[in-house]
Structure 1
Amino acid sequence: MPRTRKHTIAEPVNSAVPSEDVMALLAKFRIILQSTRQHYQAIQDSVGIGGAQLQALAIVAAQPNVGISALARAMLIRQPTASNLVEQLVTLGLLQKKKSGVDQRASELTITPKARRLLARAPGPIVGILADALASLSPSARTMLGRSLDAVLQAMKSRDDSARFRPLADS
C-alpha cells in the first residue's frame, strides 16, 4: 500500500481554493497595498511630485548637506536610483547640489525655498502610511512581524528580492 504524505505548514497544500484564514490574510495584504497606492496618489495629486521624490526632499530637509549615498541608504534604494531622483529634483528646482568641501567626488544636497513650501503643504505622513504604521508598532511586534514575513518569503516559490530597493511609491 502506497504511503501518503501529510502536508506540513512548510508544505502548502496545492489547492485552487485557499482556506478562509489564507483568504483573510490575502485581504489584509490587499488593503495594505491599495491603501499605500492611494496615499502616494494623493501625494501626487496634492503636490505634483511622487512619494519617493517627496520622501527624498524630507530627508534632505532633515539632514542638510546629506550626500547621495546617505540619501540612498535612508530611502533603502540603490545609489543610481538616488542619483536619478536627485537629478529630477534639481531639474524641478526643489534641490540644490554642490560638490562637497571634504570630498570633491561627493555631492551635498540642500532643499530650496520652493521645496520647503511644497513640504509644508504635502499630505502626511511623508514617509508613507506603511512605514509610519510599522514605526508605531512596539519593537517586539516589529520583530514578530519580521519573522512572520521572513517565513512567508521563504515559502514563496517565486519572488523578486531586488524589489527591496524599489520604493513603494513607484509600484
Structure 2
Amino acid sequence: MATSATARKAGAVRADPASQVLRRFRTVFNAVRSHFRSIETTVGVSGAQVWALSQVASNPGIGVGQLARKMDVHQSTASNLVRALLDAGLVVSEKGETDRRAVHLRATARGLKALNKAPAPLTGLLPDALRRLDDATLQRLDRDLEKLIRELKADPAMANVLIGSDE
C-alpha cells in the first residue's frame, strides 16, 4: 500500500512549463542575491566591487579600460566601481610615468585583506558557474535567452550593467 506522500507524488500535477522555468530563474537569482549579501556582510562592499578589486589585485597597474574589458562591462561601470574602491581605501591610483593621463590601479593592504575575507568565487556566483558549463550548453542557453530577451523587449544596453550594481 502506498503511503500518502508516495500517493501525492504519483498523482501530483506537473506545473506548466512557464511556471517551472520561472521557478528555476528564481532559484538562480536568489542564489546570486544570497552570494552578494554574503560578500557585503563579510567584506562591507558589493560583490561587483569585490570582483573589480580581485581583478586589480591580480593585475597590478591595470587601467580602468582594461578592467572594463576583463569584467566585460562598460567603461563607465568600471569607473564607478573604481571610484567606490578608491573612496573605501581598497585601491590606489597612480599616474603613468610616460603618459601622465594614464591611471594605474593597485590594491592596498586593506584591499588585499578584504579580498582574503571575501567568500569565493570572487568573480561572482553566476559568471563562475557559466564558465564551468560546456560549450554546447552555453550555446543552447545563449540562443534560448536571446529569444526570452526579445519577448521581454529588454534594452540590450542592460547587458553592460552588472547584476546587483546601482547603475
**TM-score, scaled to structure 2:** 0.85
* Offset, 1:151: 1.9
Tell me which of 87, 90, 93 is aligned to 1:91: 87
Which letter maps to 1:20?
A: D
Please, which of 75, 79, 86 is the counterpart of residue 79 of structure 1?
Answer: 75
Q: Which runs of 5+ in 2 are unaligned?
A: 1-14
Preserved contact between residue 52 and residue 67 of structure 2 (Cα < 8 Å): yes
What are the residue-to-residue correspondences of 1:116-131 with 2, within 5 Å? 116-131=112-127
Q: Determine if contact 1:99/1:106 at 8 Å carries over to the other structure.
A: yes
The within-5 A match list for 1:6-155 is 20-155=16-151
Question: What code does the residue aligned with 2:115 have?
Answer: L
Deviations 1:67-93 (A, max 9, x none): 001111222222222222212211211
Q: Is the 8 A contact 1:76 1:164 kept in 2?
A: no
TM-superposed deviation, 1:150: 1.3
Kindly state the Cα deviation for residue 155 of structure 1 after the two structures are TM-superposed.
2.8
Residue ranges of structure 1 left out of the alignment (5+ in a row):
1-18
Q: SS of 1:98's equivalent?
A: strand
Equivalent residue of 1:108, what SS?
Answer: strand
The answer to whether the 8 Å contact 2:96/2:102 transfers is yes
RMSD, aligned CA:
1.5
Residue aligned with 2:164, SS: helix
Per-residue CA distance 1:76-129 (angstroms, 9 max, x = gap): 222222222212211211101011234322211110111111111111111111
2: CA distance, partners of 1:102 / 1:25? 54
- Distance in 2 between the 1:159 and 1:88 partners? 28
Residue 28 of structure 1 and its aligned partner are, at CA, apart by 0.6
Assess if the C-alpha contact under 8 Å between 1:93 and 1:112 holds in 2. yes
CA contact (8 A) 2:48 2:124 kept: no
Does residue 158 of structure 2 align to residue 163 of structure 1? yes
Identity level (%): 34
Residue-pair matches, total: 152
Counterpart Cα distance in 2 of 1:117 and 1:89: 13
Residue type matched to 1:160 in 2? D
